[in-house]
Structure 1
Amino acid sequence: MYLARGSGGDADGWFWALGALALYALISYGLAYRARTRRGSRHPAHDALHDLKDREEPQAPGQRLVSRVIMLVGGGATVLVALATSGALRAAAVAGTAAVAVTLWAYYDHRTETPAGRR
């Protein structure tokens, strides 16, 4: 029975998927760090880490929901690309998908941020 034996497919695909999520988190942190540095934060690394968690949101609840959906869809797409590709193409596809997803997420957050949240 096929189901009893498992898929027998690419076992390191899961490691690539985890790596894709780590890359996605690293890119997200980098963008938050860059934003904090541009705003003149005295502790940009610490503030960027806190920006990744749910703190005081500079967005309305509806905009925050859309932002989180963009984030989750981008992460899911990155994982799917990691699982669906192999070889040398995998690294380029994962990095490209993660970069595009995080860029879209950051752009949406930047465009919907209130002036009070930019301080």
Structure 2
Amino acid sequence: MNSLARLTAGTAITLFACGLAMAEPLTLAIAKAAIVSDQASGQRALDLKMTPDSARAFADFTRANVGKVVDLSVDGAVVASPRLVEPILGGEVTLSGAFTAGELQRLAERISAGGAKVTVGVKADQPL
């Protein structure tokens, strides 16, 4: 291996180890999607409960990305972009905000039917 190849490989490993390399979005398997009342705001919200394997992967993802903005997408459309202030370890997220009741219901139905792809990834346009 020449010195340029070693330098390139070493740089890639260092970036990955430091968490600076952009990872592919994580696909989440949702066990249950339901409309709930958000305790904090009193608004209707979408509650997503992950399967055990997805809950573990999501916990690892959130641990590695505390302080970053992440995009939660359903079928490629971003539905929420929160900043992670702490790891999310319980395998459950609640989405509230500027959703109409109809939007929440359609999302819950699509996800519950099993045909929707739910992903989470680090927002691309933020400083490292």
TM > 0.5 fold call: no
* TM-score, structure 2 as length reference: 0.26
